[in-house]
Amino acid sequence: MKNPITFEILKESTDSLARVGVIHTPHGDIQTPSFAVVGTKATVKALTSKQLNDINPEVLLANTYHLYLKPGSEILKMAGGLNKFANWSKPTMTDSGGFQVFSLGKAFGKNISKFTDEGGENEENKRMEKAPFATIGEDGVAFRSHIDGSDHFLTPEKSIEIQHNIGADIIIAFDEPTSPNDPIEYQKEALERTHRWAKRCVEYHKSKPNSEFQGLYGVVQGGKFPDLRKESAEYISSLDFDGFAIGGSYNKNDIGAVVNIVNNILPKDKPRHLLGIGEPLDLFDGVEAGCDTFDCVMPTRNARNGSILTKNGKINITNTKYREDFGPLEEDCECETCTTYTRAYIAHLFHSDELLSNTLTSIHNVHFLVNLVRNIRNSILEGSYDSFKKSFISEYSK
């Protein structure tokens, strides 16, 4: 049987684990490294698919938990899958919903603290800390919907079934994420359960016809502990996955080190996705540590708060000084927003609570991150990665 997802390496760095490649999927190729745009509920917030096509990201990542609760994965199946539902013709991914079950879903019964992001920008992480009750059994997780309080039970098999209904090119095994603050005993317990669930995900997936056109990624966890990360990378590598996702649960400064350990073990010939990472400087670390794709809600979430990514660092467009600034959000940027609107206009939209603010700033921020990773890719291909990185960081951190 032909693999639905194949990975081709075009160039490898001699200084790091960085590589340039192509992931071939049923909906076309993903040129890697690349930044996956997040469309949690099958919509990149405030953007039409036409606007998204103009920005031209390689891949869109939607969320299993959210789509399972609303509109229900059967609706996506009836629509002909995520691509048709969201009017998006290029490759797609869904995560497993594990993270959201523990963070948004008011899982109950067992007192566990969860995943934190020291960056402080991820509201889901913050909520995770506020929902410290989960009933985790060997079979799966009982949780309560964050929308209507209804009770649900998600198992590895159920998560894959939902992801089959949604129909993304790349789907992700159901896992149990932890927090960097969790004690090693719990982290080890969660990791071993994640491994047993991984095996069940592979078995269920491979038994279904969808495995012919949807690739399944296994999730490597293990927190900040090198031994657990090694154990996880080795075990997950031993299963018949089409690629790998690396879960969070480390402190920001550990990303490079932890991910390096993992990617030195994972097989080189399969693609690797780094979950939930999108800060510009972290993306350089992730690429150097051998990751191929990335996703993060940061660009669109920041956009809606007026926080704009520019080559000179973030600016907040709601600041009074931009009221009379008739330049673009970012000098020389080629996105639709920067080529047509001024800072003064966008500041006015924010001060007047106008919906268009969300669209214009999201276009820019998504364009910025997609093109940052695309430029990283090109610099590796051209052999100019080091100077590109140095120059970017020097301007960005000024």
Residues with a catalytic annotation lie at 95, 295
13, 49, 181, 378: which one contacts its own copies (CB under 8 A)? 49
CA distances from 295 to 94, 143, 237, 265 (A): 11, 25, 22, 22
Which tokens belong to 160? 């894959």
13, 26, 41, 184: which one contacts its own copies (CB under 8 A)? 41
Q: Which is nearer to its own copies, 80 or 183 (CB)?
A: 80
Tell the smallest beta-carbon distance from residue 89 to its own copies (Å): 11
Q: Which of 62, 63, 182, 66 is nearest to 116 (CA)?
A: 182
Tell the smallest beta-carbon distance from residue 351 to its own copies (Å): 6
List of residues 6+ apart from 107 with CB closer than 8 A: 101, 131, 133, 134, 135, 136, 141, 142, 143, 144
Site for its own copies in 318-347 (CB under 8 A): 323-324, 326, 336, 340-342, 344-345, 347
Q: Taking CA 348 as the corner, what is the angle to CA 343 and CA 352, rounded to the nearest 5 degrees?
A: 150
* H-state helical runs in the chain: 49-55, 64-69, 73-79, 82-86, 98-103, 123-130, 156-166, 184-206, 226-238, 255-265, 280-288, 298-304, 336-340, 343-351, 356-382, 385-396
Stretch that binds its own copies, among 39-47, 115-123, 277-285, 367-375 (CB under 8 A): 39-47
Which tokens belong to 361? 């700033």
List of residues 6+ apart from 84 with CB closer than 8 A: none
Q: Which is nearer to its own copies, 233 or 360 (CB)?
A: 360
5, 18, 36, 42: which one contacts its own copies (CB under 8 A)? 42
CA distances from 141 to 61, 109, 174, 326 (A): 23, 10, 10, 53
Q: Taking CA 347 as the corner, what is the angle to CA 344 and CA 349, rounded to the nearest 5 degrees?
A: 110
Other beta carbons within 10 Å of 52 = 23
Tell the smallest beta-carbon distance from residue 72 to its own copies (Å): 9
* Phi/psi at 277 (5° precision): -115, 130
Q: Is residue 259 at the binding interface for its own copies, with CB under 8 A as the rule? A: no
35, 65, 68, 85: which one contacts its own copies (CB under 8 A)? 85
Q: Taking CA 211 as the corner, what is the angle to CA 5 and CA 232, rounded to the nearest 5 degrees?
A: 70
Tell the smallest beta-carbon distance from residue 81 to its own copies (Å): 12
Stretch that binds its own copies, among 68-76, 161-169, 223-231, 364-372 (CB under 8 A): 68-76
List of residues 6+ apart from 137 with CB closer than 8 A: none
22, 60, 86, 233: which one contacts its own copies (CB under 8 A)? 86
5, 37, 38, 47: which one contacts its own copies (CB under 8 A)? 47
Tell the smallest beta-carbon distance from residue 76 to its own copies (Å): 9
Angle between helices 356-382 and 343-351 (to 10 degrees): 140
9, 79, 184, 315: which one contacts its own copies (CB under 8 A)? 79
70, 196, 206, 208: which one contacts its own copies (CB under 8 A)? 70
Tell the smallest beta-carbon distance from residue 166 to its own copies (Å): 13
1, 14, 50, 394: which one contacts its own copies (CB under 8 A)? 50
Binding mask 345-384 for its own copies (x = CB under 8 A): x-xxx-xx-xxx-xxx------------------------
Q: Is residue 168 at the binding interface for its own copies, with CB under 8 A as the rule? A: no
174 and 196 Cβ atoms separated by less than 8 Å: no
State the number of binding residues for its own copies (CB under 8 A).
Answer: 39
Q: Is residue 48 at the binding interface for its own copies, with CB under 8 A as the rule? A: yes
288 and 17 Cβ atoms separated by less than 8 Å: yes
Contacts to its own copies by CB under 8 A: 41-43, 45-51, 66, 70-71, 75, 78-79, 85-87, 323-324, 326, 336, 340-342, 344-345, 347-349, 351-352, 354-356, 358-360
